[in-house]
Structure 1
């Protein structure tokens, strides 16, 4: 296969899936890691894809564009892991917690599997799967039903009805974007409604958002910045953004990625 043909095939895979890993492309096309990285560089220079650590995704989304879970999971992996580790320290045995959909909340779920007596409410299929990988754990997992979105969230009237009957100690909320003007946002209208129900069910709101979410704006607002009791982000967040957020959220926690 010629390089141009391979690059066209790679682009089509990324369009279909939202993102791919270098290792997937090496296996698919039977070429070296370096060859695939050169192909991705060519596509990135043409403005067709965004290169990320370990792969590539579609170019930057607009307010109504929603990347799939697989594509988002390739982005800022170290930052998301550090944020999840800090968030896990806020969870104590016996608590009732809710985890919204998102790749950072999914990373948090993998760290909560051994917390005893925990009840977890979630509308996220990946979060539920991460917790169910430990069948011997002393936990209760409540997965809402609903309409599935590209981010593997369960949303809509069924999910909202289930959540409205529940009360939890803390909600860990993943977001698409955050801005002083628009608050915490998502590109999916159904998901915004379900997330607002989760916020209403929680005594405390902890938002998990890496630095790339700053001034990213989705179509629908979930909550104003001032509604967050805690915001956990990473050290990539600019100082100016930290100053603005510190004046609006209850507590701003900034983690490193070393």
Structure 2
């Protein structure tokens, strides 16, 4: 049997990862039957996911990677994970932003992707504690100084603070800056989400800063791909019920979507028509 043409490798690996996390482990022969692909294809997929640190291979299958709750990957390490899903989420999230809005973007690779999709929205005020997000707007403005810009010329407010491995600015300085501001929408990237732990991060100072961002926003939009579900960091900073909208990708399972909707009023799945 030839490999299943109906699934791209990235989609197939997303399904494999979802099964591993949901069930606590999978066997190669189970995956070959479910996905209608060869044993060799599944083993290549498991090799690729293991190299990315997304799962651990065992004899005949794979199991989840157990990371310390304080482990915080750097920005570059996170940026290579699920890039297509993050871009789809960013495009869908950008559609929620009206011209002239005051918005906030937290640190993270998904909010970084979102920033690139906001460059054409006119008259935005953008508050962020992400050095990378601020750089997106700054570089666009520099590029437009020669008259070549198609950019919306956003006003960007970058908080101060201590820099985390993911290039977010956190701590008392950032917290004071955020508390004095008020914005229409907060787009929040997260390290992990679960029903029990809510939204969590491995960084204690970032947890406090994220909490301040949420309290200063009229609406909170979580932008997180399917791999964040079930991950729990050291510090929880909000319950799921405090989120207004979740924007995710199509690889999120139906079971998890239903669970999210028990707690979050709005769920947007990028690339799918909304009811």
TM superposition score category, shorter chain reference: 0.7 to 0.9
Alignment pair present for 1:156 and 2:171: yes
Q: Which residue matches 1:50?
A: 53
Cα RMSD of the aligned pairs, angstroms, is 2.0
Selected match of 2:265 from 240, 244, 250? 250
- TM normalised by structure 1 equals 0.77
Q: Is the 8 A contact 1:160 1:194 kept in 2?
A: yes
Selected match of 1:139 from 154, 159, 163? 154
The DSSP-based 3-state class of the residue aligned with 2:99 is coil
Q: Distance in 2 between matches of 1:51 and 1:238?
A: 17
Q: Distance in 1 between matches of 2:131 and 2:106?
A: 10
Q: Segments of 4+ in structure 1 off by > 2 A?
A: 47-52, 59-62
Aligned positions of 1:70-149 closer than 5 A: 70-135=76-141, 136=144, 137-149=152-164
Listed as ranges, the gaps of 5+ residues in structure 2 are: 1-43, 56-64, 145-151
Alignment pair present for 1:221 and 2:227: no
The DSSP-based 3-state class of the residue aligned with 1:204 is strand
Q: Distance in 2 between matches of 1:51 and 1:206?
A: 25
Listed as ranges, the gaps of 5+ residues in structure 1 are: 1-40, 53-58
Q: Which residue matches 2:221?
A: 206
Alignment pair present for 1:61 and 2:67: yes
The DSSP-based 3-state class of the residue aligned with 2:140 is coil
The DSSP-based 3-state class of the residue aligned with 2:230 is coil
Q: Is the 8 A contact 1:50 1:60 kept in 2?
A: no
With 246-255 and 73-82 compared, the bigger mean Cα shift is at 246-255
- TM normalised by structure 2 equals 0.72
C-alpha displacement of 1:253: 1.0
Aligned length: 209
Q: Residues 51 and 182 from structure 1, CA distance in 2 versus in 1: closer, same or farther, beyond 3 angstroms?
A: closer
